[in-house]
Structure 1
Amino acid sequence: MAFFLLSFRVFTVTLRRSFNFEKWVDSLTNNRVIILREIHNNSKITKKQLEKAVNLSASAIDNNIEKLKDIGLLIREGSDKGGYWKINYILP
């Protein structure tokens, strides 16, 4: 009796279409665009850091983040302290 051991390697290829960022954010306010850019540069940015980068109050940051979540552009992954922001790159 013979036994055969087969091994398969599995890999994933991700292809992204390029898109025009300015057209993508055309319908957003300037503050929301700045928030998305800061999150794009650092997905683990805190709300305190966003306050300084955008020069808005804590409640204004919260309101803008909630609006970005409502329209489906921003998602919070993980816990409040150990998580990160994820931008949902949907087409306009």
Structure 2
Amino acid sequence: MLYSVLFEDNVTRAEAIRREFLPDHLVFLERNRGRIIAAGPLRDASDAPAGGMWLVRAETPDVVEELVRADPFWPTGLRRSHRVLQWQRVFGADVFAA
């Protein structure tokens, strides 16, 4: 199954945390590239940082939660909240095919 993970960041801490932990976060994403098939930041209409999104291939939402909690960003307080949503591709690139 495919899941979308939507992250809302704690904007008061985001810049300093991201600067310090981004290299570890990128290594984590690379190490989990078999499950996390796309990841990146989100920005709002005024181009301000608004969090991030992952597209994850996993058997259950619990597996996705384990990935979220294993991310080096997780214990830092960067993430204010997150949502795990099941996603079904109806149209788009074959890379997302289950």
Structure 1 or 2: more strand by fraction:
2
Greater RCO (Cα-Cα under 8 Å, separation 6 or more): 2
User: Is TM more than 0.5 here?
Assistant: no
Which structure has the greater CA radius of gyration? 1
